[in-house]
Structure 1
Amino acid sequence: MKIDSNTLRLTRPDLWDRFTRREEYENPIRDMHGRFPYWASQDRDIFRPSVSEYLYEQGLIKPEYPDGCEFALCVTHDVDVIYSSPYMKILNGLLSARQGDRKRAVREIGSACNRKSPFYNFKEILSLEEKYGVTSTWFFQALEPGEPEFRYRLSDVEDVLGDILDAGSEIGLHGGFDAPFNLDRLLIEKTRLEKVLGEKVTGYRSHYLKFQVPKTWELLEQAGFSYDSTLGYSDCMGFRSGMCHPYKPVNLNTGKEIDIIEFPLHVMDMSLFHQYMRLDFDGAWRVVKKSIDNVHNCRGVLVINWHNTGYVNDSYEKKIVEKIMAFSIKRGAWIGSMNQIIYPVSYKL
């Protein structure tokens, strides 16, 4: 989506600064993963998509969705883990055997319990999405043994990838440890995933939501991606750039638009329930419902990220994501994968 940058910059410099993430150019604070955290931000209006609200209220954007829907929901999944602890022991044992350490291999495999990994639950997730008529976007890692954060091979999920594509959903790259800051790593991982899929990979999200403004956007453009969906905080849900519409970001160093579409990430399961916001079910639903209402009011796109590990048994995560889908449909949402939203959605300027 093209934003009238000059109008926004001249009429609302405060919103322009939020839209471009100016404070991330000027504030050197980063956490252990190289991320700019919400706690370091001067912007405390995180739960309102203030830039999108202004653009919509001023008639600078007029989104239209298929079937006359009033707004959109993107359900996405970061696949970090597919093996529970026993399966990691088996995997480590096999790697030890391959490296010639037979004693360690026997010890690792022998200590693993014989049960199915609860995280290898892709069919269950696809079945739930089929129930609601949802197509989604899945981000898979493309790492090899010995590389940081390696947890599974693409060959371990090759059949799953086919099931996802057959369901009409989309597969993107979940960039590894160094990928957001290194073009060579981006290209290596992108090529690996494309080789397995047999088609071009257009979408990207970083592991741990690692991101550096504007460097990561520039690298993704150079690597040939069409869109990114990393721009969200790990330590708090909300609207980091004030946007709930896909847009092309601007590099403040050059004053030029970057040829990559940003789908800002708004709600993530890990942020709501675990080491960050630590909400209970009712508290999580209150803030999520308010976000749905805000996005609906300016005909935006709400992007949520639910890991496959969040669909185990009757967890809070699983209950909330199902409630998000049901409530959004009731409110008139069109739900599709990101590659579906990029092209059929019209933004009249």
Structure 2
Amino acid sequence: MKLACVVSCSDSVKCEAEYSLSYCLSSLGFFSAPYTSDSQGTLLCYGEIPEEVMERVLKGDWVVNILHDPGGFEGMVNGKDLPRAKSRGAGGSGPVAVFFVCEEKEGVSLREMVVADGSKLTLVSEERMGEGGIITVHFDLLASIFFFLSRAEEVFSNKTDEFERPPQELAICAREGFEEEPVVNTYILLVQELLILAAHRSGRMLLRKLEWPAGQGYCVSLTHDVDRLAKWRGRSILKGILTGKTREVFSSVRKSKSDPWWNLDHICETEKKIGVRSTFYFFTDRGGEHGGRYDCVSIKELLRDLVDGGWEIGLHGSYASMTDKSRLIKEKMRLGEAAQTDIAGIRQHYLRVKIPETIENMEIAGFSYDASVGFSDRVGFRASMCLPYHLYDFENRKAFDILEIPISIMDRGLPGDVKRRKQEARRIVQSVKEGRGVLSLLWHQSMFDDADFPGLGRLYEWLLGMVSADNPFFANHVELYRWWRKRGQVSIVSSEEKGAGTVLRIVSGEEIPLMSFEVFGRVSGVSCEGATLKEFCLKEGDRSVFTICDIRSPGFGLSIEHGDES
């Protein structure tokens, strides 16, 4: 049931290749281990196929071989040669863009891409060899994943915008015009498709953890940045009077809770109606020109009421905290004391993140996740990914520990009138569905003021209604972080063939109320020891899905009964 993986490339880029491969397989939920002579799982090789693996191919195994472009990782690691995309042509299918295309190899084409100039590019081919064969990916898929997730184009650029952050147009998806498609998701789904094919032809089964607890198609995570709690304060009062809003100004000043931006109760009631809770990101103090114009201590009752009601409080990192470690630590501590809760997550004001410095400071401060990667001037996927992931630490050549939860839609990024906004939102939701990912929404609470931001509050409510019909997995950011961590800790420690079935010992680092799995191969049933089988369902195409509840640490036994091959 475990994949057997080989990484054949130079040591100078092996850490980067292993980072990409690990993320690809873990996000898909496959169990994997490095290849050894005793490996019994489906074969996956990056780079040159070793002789020992070729011997197994000749005897009947099929291997998925992702080609390695020697110049791919090397150029990015050195910050010298950032790639250009080969973009999909009009009416084409498959990934919207590929990078690091390798030389053609013999074989029958399984997947082609029509590029922008009208020519055809072989993406995947197969070649039978002896009793088995090789399924070849003709572009360096792992280097491509690394390029997107590491944010190499921002890390190695000295360019900044008016907020002293990497310009959003630096992102290659923005430059090439495919920011609304999570390209990395299409890459990893291609890997899944090819592994299933190789396993089937090798006569093996594959087991994977589904992305979401009850097997939902995707996740929805709601968030709100609270930049200002009061519309009418200081200079805004004078501006309001000068623009003919005297009555509204004085009504709000007399009673702060009639201020149109003091509206968290309305947002909470909207979310309670569909049984969900969101994350609110708060500043800690006024913080000067780019601050929040409120102090978290003065609203501690509000913060504690939100926590008691099941909402999450996260830190909205101040403008100066992007590069100020001590300030970031103090802000986290101060907000936690005011709200009387642990602060697990952060989103930087204006999405101001400098990689690696800001991420390193977040880890030192003790944050579990960050939610700052995204666009503010458009919708879409800045890292071309709609699942949680870990940014890459180029200096230490490893993944950062902090989890990144990317933004899908920010209110200000939606264009034009209501009709266009709904069209854009539908496209993003569809992309997330296809990628089995996370729809992470960022709606500032001030955007519910219909006088200044007509229709945006109603658009949020419309979006909630639309996605609720799909019955997704709803989770605020800390719930999403905890789920993703628990899912990642589930692993196979032993596998044994017994009679007409396979007996697995699966370990879990924490208790998990509900988790779903998918098996590829003929299965007649499953049973559990140490957990409860809630549901088992045979699907079309030799595929089965089952859900297990009450998983306790250290784990459980799983028996999979093989089906009749006739």
- Give the TM bin, normalised by the shorter chain: 0.7 to 0.9
> Which of 360, 374, 378 is equivalent to 1:232?
374
What whole-Å deviation, never above 9, does each CA across 1:118-166 have from its counterpart, x for those lacking one? Answer: 1000111100001121110110000146585240111332222122212
Letter in 2 for 1:219: N
1:265 pairs with 2:407? yes
- Structure 1 distance, partners of 2:145, 2:288, is 44
1:323 pairs with 2:459? no
320 and 148 in structure 1: CA distance in 2 versus 1, 3 angstrom threshold: closer
Deviates more, 1:121-130 or 1:282-291: 282-291
Q: What does residue 422 of structure 2 align with? A: 285
62 and 244 in structure 1: CA distance in 2 versus 1, 3 angstrom threshold: farther
Does the 8 Å contact 1:34/1:211 carry over to 2?
A: no
1:189 pairs with 2:331? yes
Q: What does residue 561 of structure 2 align with? A: none
- Structure 2 distance, partners of 1:321, 1:243, is 22
- After TM superposition, give the deviation of residue 14 of structure 1 in Å: 2.5
Q: What does residue 97 of structure 1 align with? A: none
Q: What does residue 198 of structure 1 align with? A: 340
1:307 pairs with 2:437? no
- Structure 2 distance, partners of 1:29, 1:169, is 37
> Which of 150, 157, 166 is equivalent to 2:299?
157
The correspondence of residues 116-195 of structure 1 with structure 2, limited to 5 A, is 116-144=258-286, 148-195=290-337
- Structure 1 distance, partners of 2:334, 2:477, is 21
1:58 pairs with 2:191? yes
> Which of 55, 67, 71 is equivalent to 2:218?
71
Letter in 1 for 2:426: K
300 and 148 in structure 1: CA distance in 2 versus 1, 3 angstrom threshold: closer
SS in structure 2 at match of 1:74: strand
- After TM superposition, give the deviation of residue 271 of structure 1 in Å: 2.0
- Structure 1 distance, partners of 2:380, 2:330, is 32
Q: What does residue 19 of structure 2 align with? A: 5
**Structure richer in strand, relative to its length:** 2
Q: What does residue 229 of structure 2 align with? A: 82
Does the 8 Å contact 1:78/1:305 carry over to 2?
A: yes
- After TM superposition, give the deviation of residue 48 of structure 1 in Å: 0.8
SS in structure 2 at match of 1:64: coil
Letter in 2 for 1:127: E
1:338 pairs with 2:338? no
SS in structure 2 at match of 1:151: coil
193 and 14 in structure 1: CA distance in 2 versus 1, 3 angstrom threshold: same
- Structure 1 distance, partners of 2:367, 2:19, is 23
Letter in 1 for 2:457: K
- Structure 2 distance, partners of 1:339, 1:41, is 27
Does the 8 Å contact 2:306/2:312 carry over to 1?
A: yes
Deviates more, 1:12-21 or 1:129-138: 12-21
- Structure 2 distance, partners of 1:289, 1:37, is 26
Q: What does residue 49 of structure 1 align with? A: 182
> Which of 283, 295, 309 is equivalent to 2:432?
295
Deviates more, 1:238-247 or 1:41-50: 41-50
Does the 8 Å contact 2:450/2:456 carry over to 1?
A: no
- Structure 2 distance, partners of 1:145, 1:177, is 8
> Which of 137, 156, 165 is equivalent to 1:26?
156
Letter in 2 for 1:227: Y
1:254 pairs with 2:254? no
Letter in 1 for 2:211: E
What whole-Å deviation, never above 9, does each CA across 1:217-274 have from its counterpart, x for those lacking one? Answer: 11111110000000112222211111111112112233111110000112101222xx
- Structure 1 distance, partners of 2:416, 2:159, is 26
- After TM superposition, give the deviation of residue 281 of structure 1 in Å: 1.2
Q: TM-score, normalised by structure 1?
A: 0.85
Does the 8 Å contact 2:296/2:335 carry over to 1?
A: yes
Does the 8 Å contact 1:310/1:318 carry over to 2?
A: yes
Deviates more, 1:33-42 or 1:290-299: 33-42
Does the 8 Å contact 1:143/1:153 carry over to 2?
A: yes
Deviates more, 1:306-315 or 1:169-178: 306-315
Letter in 2 for 1:49: P
- Structure 1 distance, partners of 2:292, 2:224, is 18
Does the 8 Å contact 1:52/1:243 carry over to 2?
A: yes
- Structure 1 distance, partners of 2:161, 2:344, is 28
23 and 293 in structure 1: CA distance in 2 versus 1, 3 angstrom threshold: same
238 and 146 in structure 1: CA distance in 2 versus 1, 3 angstrom threshold: closer
Does the 8 Å contact 1:63/1:300 carry over to 2?
A: no
**Structure richer in helix, relative to its length:** 1
Letter in 2 for 1:46: E
321 and 144 in structure 1: CA distance in 2 versus 1, 3 angstrom threshold: closer
Deviates more, 1:35-44 or 1:215-224: 35-44
Structure 2 residues not aligned, in runs of 5+: 1-16, 25-45, 47-67, 69-139, 196-207, 239-248, 253-257, 492-566
114 and 329 in structure 1: CA distance in 2 versus 1, 3 angstrom threshold: closer
Look at both structures and tell me which one has the larger radius of gyration over its CA atoms. 2
Q: TM-score, normalised by structure 2?
A: 0.53
Letter in 2 for 1:306: W
Letter in 2 for 1:330: A
Letter in 2 for 1:328: V
SS in structure 2 at match of 1:174: strand
- After TM superposition, give the deviation of residue 180 of structure 1 in Å: 1.7
Q: Which has the higher contact order (CA 8 A, sep 6+)?
A: 1
SS in structure 2 at match of 1:265: coil
- After TM superposition, give the deviation of residue 90 of structure 1 in Å: 10
- Structure 2 distance, partners of 1:304, 1:332, is 17
1:244 pairs with 2:392? no
- Structure 1 distance, partners of 2:236, 2:458, is 31
- Structure 1 distance, partners of 2:396, 2:368, is 20
Letter in 2 for 1:55: I
Does the 8 Å contact 1:74/1:136 carry over to 2?
A: yes
- After TM superposition, give the deviation of residue 117 of structure 1 in Å: 1.0
Structure 1 residues not aligned, in runs of 5+: 93-111, 273-277
